[in-house]
Structure 1
């Protein structure tokens, strides 16, 4: 993939409640960043966010697994703890407000409205809706014909969802209504049948669906009619990358978490590589989510040494 000729950008990066660090990214395939003099390096700001709060109320001491999160318009954050089968609501200062136990392991969460989110429960083929206020509470669900892993809201009455059907050994994506009617279904190209991981995002006008496919080592861009527009083969030098979380900024640039490379690939809306951000990214990154302002995003990682961490990054 040819590097696009975009101007040099600057990321201002921080861990929550820590000093900011800055690094300049050039338009080379991999941009190595250095903290400025007098700043604290990211590796020395190893703040574990959420962990103590998520563990409150649990008696077995199980470490949480941050499988996904979403930032709401008012600054609140909903995070999915897959291991402990709970969804937790945090205020804009990351204080735990409320938690809600799920009947099976939740996988993905998306915002439906300012006061509602939807969570996928692939083990029982359900999409669970949760009302958001000062607490987080169940508000109904739908049952799907296929194993929905991830979802995004097309509007208040329709969702785009993607996942796998183990019997068919295929990935798929499509649209489904709030009352469970499947309106469309399309297959996603994939590689080896080894992993059930696919993530999706919509552009600002909600006309294009971006899909990060772990097995295929590729980011696909489809129209809502199922026609493929673009594809980006995730690669760093000779090494293939395994894409996981995916999100778009306010200008529809695409950010893809590459877990096995500990990096984020920034793509143009046409899936052309702009930058690869490496040394500011924690080990084993998993999910990425932009705040509604579009200039700040959260990245979670799961590492055996550091447990679960959530970092914030601010675009400048």
Structure 2
């Protein structure tokens, strides 16, 4: 009986593999009942199936959008995030403010900050968090009826650079690097901060941070180290990614399939990786010089990039 079941499982796996290859998938996840799992552990030659089904999609440049703000001041959009309804919030470093745009990239409102912002992330559908590194402060803002209003501030121990939602009101924060070490932290809704140091062999380096969709992995780019670091939520490093054609990595984001996109600011490209750090492709077409931040709208299958070569424009890409 057991041998017959093993043969059936082997046949099933063969059929799955053939379909899997036909789809051009990157990885596959197979859930089985507990009794079958026990049986499978007794047969080492069956093989192991893990991951999840994700079909590799094409990426095409859609357009370049010129952003018109409330005045003629030259912006530097160093951080960007999508809100509910596909509105956008951009952190304008040069003018110490954030700007709210509608889904057609038209100006709605702005809010002046006490210092130069570095990054911005969504906390929930109405709230965002902005990092102010020189003040070691996270500024929380509420967006309602087309207006931006401040709510609370949270002090951080180190300069806060990148920010990303970690779910349940928590914020993941990346710091600048000091004496060969970098720090990232989790800040709870109560304001309590948990620190996770790691070696990066560089100083005074900009960092950005993002998480996967299930908030179980943290990705941090360190531009002076020319590397992307991946951690679990307990601060253990899972891997470090670097490549000869990845220079000064800045913005980092994930799509709905948990693929990772890291912007090579110095190499004018984007490296697309699987969640475990396996390279998928290097995107060069349409990537502007001096690229900085990247963010995704999963509802639109679209991502965009800011840059400082044409600082009042953003480049929009579509996944097909």
**TM-score between both structures, scaled by the size of structure 1:** 0.80
Residue 191 of structure 1 corresponds to which residue in structure 2? 201
For residue 93 of structure 2, the aligned residue among 82, 96, 106 is 82
For residue 110 of structure 2, the aligned residue among 77, 90, 99 is 99
CA distance in 2, matches of 1:187, 1:95: 40
> Do 1:254 and 1:267's aligned partners in 2 also have CA atoms closer than 8 Å?
yes
CA distance in 2, matches of 1:224, 1:181: 15
> Do 2:250 and 2:265's aligned partners in 1 also have CA atoms closer than 8 Å?
yes
Q: What secondary structure sits across from 2:134 in the alignment?
A: helix
1:298 matched to 2:309: no
**What do you get for the CA RMSD once the two structures are aligned?**
2.0
Structure richer in strand, relative to its length: 1
> Do 2:65 and 2:105's aligned partners in 1 also have CA atoms closer than 8 Å?
no
Listed as ranges, the gaps of 5+ residues in structure 2 are: 1-24, 27-54
Residue 154 of structure 2 corresponds to which residue in structure 1? 142
Q: Once the two structures are superposed, what CA deviation does each residue of 1:83-120 show, in whole Å capped at 9, x if it has no partner?
A: 10011111111111110000111111000000000001
Residue 19 of structure 1 corresponds to which residue in structure 2? none
CA distance in 2, matches of 1:70, 1:118: 10
Residue 224 of structure 2 corresponds to which residue in structure 1? 215
Listed as ranges, the gaps of 5+ residues in structure 1 are: 16-46
CA distance in 2, matches of 1:267, 1:84: 34
CA distance in 2, matches of 1:88, 1:102: 11
For residue 249 of structure 2, the aligned residue among 226, 235, 243 is 243
> Do 1:142 and 1:179's aligned partners in 2 also have CA atoms closer than 8 Å?
no
> Do 1:67 and 1:286's aligned partners in 2 also have CA atoms closer than 8 Å?
yes
> Do 1:201 and 1:209's aligned partners in 2 also have CA atoms closer than 8 Å?
yes
Q: What secondary structure sits across from 2:171 in the alignment?
A: strand
Cα 1:9–1:154 shift into 2, 3 Å: closer
Structure richer in helix, relative to its length: 2
1:260 matched to 2:279: no
Which sits farther off after the overlay, 249-258 or 148-157? 148-157
Q: What secondary structure sits across from 2:86 in the alignment?
A: coil
> Do 1:69 and 1:80's aligned partners in 2 also have CA atoms closer than 8 Å?
yes
Residues paired across the two proteins, number: 268
> Do 1:234 and 1:243's aligned partners in 2 also have CA atoms closer than 8 Å?
no
